[in-house]
Amino acid sequence: MAYDVIVLGSGPGGYPAAIRASQLGLKVAIIEKESLGGICLNWGCIPTKALLKSAQVYESMKHSKDYGLEASDVKHNFDAVIKRSRGVADKMSKGVQFLMKKNKIDVVMGYGKLKAKGQVEVTGADGKTQAVEGKYIIVATGARSRQLPSLPIDGKKVIGYREAMVLPQQPKSMIVVGSGAIGVEFAYFYNSMGTKVTIVEFLPKVVPVEDDDVSKELEKQYKKQGIEIYTSSEVTSVDTSGTGVKAKVKTQNGEITLEADIVLSAAGIVANIENIGLEQLGIKTEKGKITVDKYQQTNVAGFYAIGDCTPGQALAHVASKEGIIAAEHIGYNEKKYGHLPDTIDYNNIPGCTYCTPEISSIGYTEKAAKEAGYELKIGKFPFIASGKASAAGATEGFIKVIYDAKYGEFLGAHMIGYNVTELIAEVSVARKLETTYHEILNASHPHPTMSEGVKEATAAAYGEAIDI
């Protein structure tokens, strides 16, 4: 059967692309080599949040006295925590299966390779191949853990995020290499479960993409939690010959040796663009990513690419939007969609990290805004001044907002604290609507909430703060 659209990969970019194309009246097939929902749903975003929730509940139980409650002999069952996480992932994967049936999308299981214009060769688990034909092809092959030359992953003593989610037993000690979202989330989880955790970060600060104030706050909170941190440091070699791992680490103060049961390599990701037929078809790549235009088109007509295998931020919500843009552009070409789709402003993408305290951010950091030549109005609202945060027993962190002093443009927001991943959407919508400080100040924010901190930080930026 010939399809209108073939989607290669069913992650958070692929399956929304397939659904949107189907909604527009196009006949769609999706090709998946492992599990519907891809890494995000099965081994990334979703099951990690389940692990982190278990860790947070355990932490709350240990501190029950702070809330006037008594809970004695509080323990955790590591196997049961892992099992719950896998159950959440399985349930969500079944949800994607349902969505495929609901939207009449054919699912072809196997490894897909671009063979020719309008054709994908799929190799099944049994080694048999079949050709799937379609007018348009959307490549959504995602990414995998980056392997550092000094840190080869063996899946046992040196592991990636995938193994970290299903360890057969809890390690007593762990070295986490890299302090991006994956690194700090796992560091929090294992530390709260009682594992001794050390973070090694190559760059001068943890969570390097975040605003400097946020990085400093997270480092302070992690050290308070008992996590050891080495910044401007690099693992130069690992010795796995003994019972655990010995890692040689080059620090600012000379070389040290760290010992642990296990090393988690969380040093970023690499796009899955090898062996999928790009070269044979002349599809351009640059710096290990597929080159695309604002509608996600490659340089070869009929081929689109979305998500982590393309240059935009490697985030699930970015992949989803790119997938929808690609589907709508195809719909427009086929006269099934009335206008060209809205494209993405990559400077207005919220980023969230689900450690404790949570981190969320959008737009310019203070440093980037200054480098861009803006004169700034900056306001901070510390959660210690928040009634809701005090009631929740979560007063760590703050909301920081950045405005252009000349026109009042909302340039960016950076948050660290309890539940801040739920607060950042306000800023995303506000910036999309080209809102200034004036609208934020004069929009009613409910009290007591954490979200009113956005208004309070804005008031602080303009010398009008009431509660601080």
Q: Catalytic site residues?
A: 447
Structure tokens at 131: 């050709």
| Parallel, antiparallel or unpaired: strands 262-265 and 173-177 | parallel
Amino acid, single-letter form, for residue 203 = L
Distance CA 15, CA 30 (A): 8
Q: Count CB atoms within 10 A of the CB of residue 23.
A: 16
Residues whose CB is less than 8 angstroms from the CB of residue 468 and which lie 6 or more positions away in sequence, other chains included: 381, 382, 385, 456, 460
Query: CA 36, 56, 380 angle in degrees (round to 5)?
Result: 100
- Residue 208, SS3? coil
Q: Contact 317/349 with Cβ under 8 angstroms?
A: yes
Residues 163, 164, 165, 166: is their CA dihedral positive or negative?
A: positive
Report the chain's C-alpha Rg in angstroms.
24
Locate tokens 């950045």: which residue? 402
Q: Where are the beta strands (DSSP E) in 52-194?
A: 106-109, 111-116, 119-123, 129-139, 143-145, 158-159, 173-177
Structure tokens at 403: 């405005």
Distance CA 217, CA 420 (A): 14
